Amino acid sequence: MRIITGIARGAVLTTLEGENTRPTGERAKEALFSMIQFDIEGRRALDLFAGSGQLGLEAVSRGAVSCVFIDEAREAVEVILANAKKARLFDKCRISTGSYATYLKNAAGREEFDLIFLDPPYASDYIAEALRLISEGGLLRAGGRIVCESDNGTAPVKKKDQKSEEYNNGKVMEQVFGGDEELASKYNVVKTALYGRSRITLLEGKSEEE
């Protein structure tokens, strides 16, 4: 696993074994960053469920001014620290051990981010709860973006369904918002796409006028 581009381009990153720290696949990662390529420069990022830290480090390599990394596994935090130093990006990183919910509750009213990565273990419903806490805590700056990676399952998806707005909207409601229409009403879905079993969904917060 390498940093794709930017000031740390080509830096080889260490990953952790096990399902709880499943790294984003290369194809999905490239697609993800193509979605947000104009939303990184000069921005403050948050990499929740950080794992190896590859998403936040890629963002910093591409021009984000800083990134906060949160993971509840001490082993993951040690890997993030090592990767940040290896990529020579450590001075732009803040790395902490703790649960996503505790961090978001403590950061409410104190922190704001332009770019938030949500890539939890697939066998979890953490994305919806994280989105709820982000909205309640005012953690997403106006104009900011949230990148969610969810599990679309291993069953093959027909090509017509991949392009179907109805199919994709239904999957986003299920996988990203946990079926909560009130939560979904707080965000605009900018884009969603499938890459293997990974669904990448880009969100933005709705303005008060909306």
Confidence of residue 19 (pLDDT cuts 50, 70, 90): very low
Confidence of residue 160 (pLDDT cuts 50, 70, 90): confident
Summarised one tens digit per residue, pLDDT across range 100-132 is 999 999 999 999 999 999 999 887 889 999 999
pLDDT of the residue at 112: 96
Query: Which pair of tokens denotes residue 124?
Result: 């979890």
User: In the chain, what are the domains?
Assistant: 19-205 (3.40.50.150)
Confidence of residue 31 (pLDDT cuts 50, 70, 90): confident
> Who's near 44: CB < 8 A, 6+ residues apart?
64, 65, 66, 67, 112, 113, 114, 115, 141
Q: Is the per-residue pLDDT at 151 higher than 90?
A: no
Q: What is the pTM of this model?
A: 0.93
